[in-house]
A and B are shown apart, each in its own frame.
Chain A
Amino acid sequence: MGALRAGVRFVGCYPITPATDLVEWLAPELQRLGGRLVLAEDELAAINMVIGASYGGTPAMTVTSGPGLSLMVETLGLAVAAEIPLVIVDVMRGGPSTGIPSKTEQSDVNIAIHGGHGDAPRVVLAPMSVADCALSAEWAVYVAESLQTPVIVLSDQTLGQATAVIDPGVARPPALVRLTNAAPTGAQFKRYAVVADPVTPMPRPGTPGGQWVGEGLTHNEVGIPVSGAGAHAAQITKRAKKLQQFDSGDLWGETWGEGSTALLTFGSAIGPARVAAQRLTAQGRPTRVIGLRQLSPIPIAALGRALAGTERTVVLEQNHGAQLFHYLRGHGAVPADAESIARPGPIPFRPAEIAAHIA
């Protein structure tokens, strides 16, 4: 729903549990909106079709789970290198490998943030609840379009296959669009120009004088493949700057409650964490919950403000390797003495289990 609100009119996908429900809902609605959902032969085709549609000027998206995302990471890198907007929704399930297809887990943090070879940063968002899915998806499309980058939306089986009655009157994210205007200069158009604004126009094919070739090889400002150090550094820096200057405002996440203990988490773990925090607070151990909607780039300043006044930070996540904990700690986004509650699926967190860890 959020994606449709934001203008997605092309989806290329391949069915995978537990993401299939989402695309089966999307297929007829997209068609009725004048868009199209294409059932690709595999996830490699799906993500490449999405790049093609996006290059053609249509906001485009795919929906998958962990194994599909694994297949897509090479092409994810292409979208980063060629600066193509797209959204990948990953409805996480038990991993690794075929794992537990029909059960929940939060173990795709690493692949979402880092998956793919080379320096290929991208935006990773995670809806905080069933109610937040529409807003997060809509925002993901705006971010992708305005920054010309892939955005991964990390949902999970718990959120993806739950049913809930929600308040539709939630705030909408500010609409953002892609930059397509190319002022005709008479000279060859420089799609990847190194100028003050790292986001550079991507003319819609069919626009006279705006011709550009999307390029996965390291390239110069025109997009011609080159291998020199200067051009390589210039383009990597250009793309990194897009994410560095990204300001998510109030959308980075949310804090509930107050207390000197902070329980920091994301996705479907937020619900049980909030219940656990309420119980702990009622028992005289004030605990706040900080939910991250934005995982990459890390909203360091906002997170720092959310952690102000805390003496204890506990990062909660549903995976064995404490992926989010190590990522945040490695970037200095949580204190060095932050603690980790990390256990894999398939059973969703119970508030009592979280509270017991904190006590």
Chain B
Amino acid sequence: MSIGEPTEAHCVRALAAKDFSSGAHPIWCPGCGDYGVLAALERALALHGRPSHEVVLVSGIGCSSRLPAYTTCYGFHGVHGRALALATGVKLARPDLEVITVGGDGDGYSIGGNHFIHACRRNVDMLYIVMDNRVYGMTKGQPSPTTEPDWDSDIAPGGIGLRPFQPLALAIAAGANFVARGFSGDPQGPAQLIVDGISWPGFAFIEVLSPCITFRPEQFDWKAKVRTGPAATEHDRAAAIAAVLTDDGFSLGLAFKGERAVVSEMHEPTITVNEIEGQFAVGI
């Protein structure tokens, strides 16, 4: 495990996953993949070693976006699609905090698509976890940007007929420094990816396949389809994109790791407000 050197926090008392659980009962259906992601996040945060009052979980709208209140962290449950922008504001104002954004495929790739692109481009040091179940679950079963083109639904009979969104390829192309895929039913994988993603400088994006057993019961067979993918491509974005575009969407692990510069920290003041006021003086 890549914990690194023990910090003072580790020496005083190691954090446990349960330190990060608020005990609130999630609204998720029994069997929802998001339970696995929540557990992975709690374990990862304990391993990472920062206490819950130094972590901010930001989310949008949807089943997965209900996650922040199930933890003991600070957080914000904002409006649909804008979580990454809100998280960017938190992190840029408070670079001392750990900022993690969570949400679903609708929140992140549809209404949130523009902010997803620019968050990758801006490369602020924070983590984004999308729980992808290829459906809008909260609103009871409409196709999302990652839904297969022929999936039948009331709102799109016969299927939406569109090529699914390719979030990993887009994230790599837009500039994210760490791009990975996990599976909620994998006991160890997502927690490790989260630990690595938080630690790696820049914008880290992890798409976690997280089945919706209520509206997509056929996703029960995902656990048979997922497999460990090839080693991550480093530095070469074009090669990494080519690799993800040719996989079948069930290849797990890190796809790309890059070293783009991260948005700089805040500067120390070099002027006072009174000095700025002095600029306006007009000698009369």
Contact = CB atoms under 8 A, between A and B. Distances in A.
Interface of A: 1, 4-5, 9-10, 12, 29, 31-36, 38, 40-42, 44-46, 48-58, 60, 74-75, 78, 82, 165, 168, 205-217, 223-225
B76 A50 contact: no
B93 A52 contact: yes
B284 interface: yes
Contacts of B118: 40-41, 45
A40 B115 CA distance: 9
B79 interface: yes
Contacts of B280: 1, 168
A35 B266 contact: yes
Contacts of B72: 211
B90 A56 contact: yes
Interface in B165-182: none
Nearest to A29: B276
Contacts of B232: none
A50 B269 contact: no
Contacts of B52: 211
B13 interface: no
B269 A205 contact: no
Interface in B81-118: 82, 85-94, 96-97, 114-115, 117-118
A49 B77 contact: no
A206 B97 contact: yes
A32 B266 CA distance: 10
Nearest to B88: A49
Interface in B253-284: 266-273, 276-277, 280-282, 284
A54 B76 CA distance: 12
B16 interface: no
26 contacts: A1-B280, A4-B276, A9-B93, A10-B89, A36-B266, A41-B118, A45-B82, A45-B118, A46-B85, A48-B89, A51-B76, A52-B87, A52-B90, A52-B93, A53-B90, A55-B76, A55-B90, A56-B93, A56-B94, A168-B277, A205-B54, A206-B94, A206-B96, A208-B51, A211-B72, A213-B76
A93 B89 CA distance: 28
B76 A40 contact: no
Nearest to B77: A215
Contacts of A82: 76
A52 B267 contact: no
Given A36-B266, A51-B86, A82-B76, A56 B53 contact: no
A178 to B, nearest CB: 14
A209 B76 CA distance: 16
Contacts of A44: 82, 85, 115
Interface residues of B, number: 50
Nearest to B117: A41
A214 B269 contact: no
Contacts of A49: 85-86, 88-89, 92
Contact of A58 (B24, B94, B114, B268): B94
Given A49-B85, A52-B58, A224-B24, A36 B51 contact: no
Q: Which among B52, B72, B276 has the greatest number of chain A C-beta atoms within 10 A?
A: B276
A55 B68 CA distance: 15
Given A206-B94, A214-B77, A34 B89 contact: no
A4 B91 CA distance: 21
B273 A4 contact: yes
Contacts of A57: 93-94
A224 B80 CA distance: 18
Contact of B77 (A38, A165, A209, A213): A213
B94 A33 contact: no
B78 interface: yes
A8 to B, nearest CB: 10
B88 A5 contact: no
Given A45-B82, A53-B92, A75-B79, A33 B271 contact: yes
Given A206-B97, A210-B53, A213-B75, A38 B92 contact: yes
Contacts of B276: 1, 4, 29, 32-33
A80 to B, nearest CB: 12
B220 interface: no
B222 interface: no
A216 B97 contact: no
Contacts of B267: 31, 34
A205 B94 contact: yes
Q: Which among A4, A45, A209 has the greatest number of chain B C-beta atoms within 10 A?
A: A45
Contacts of A75: 78-79, 82
A34 B76 contact: no
A10 B92 contact: yes
Nearest to A49: B89
Given A40-B85, A205-B53, A211-B72, A53 B93 contact: yes
Given A206-B94, A213-B75, A52 B53 contact: no
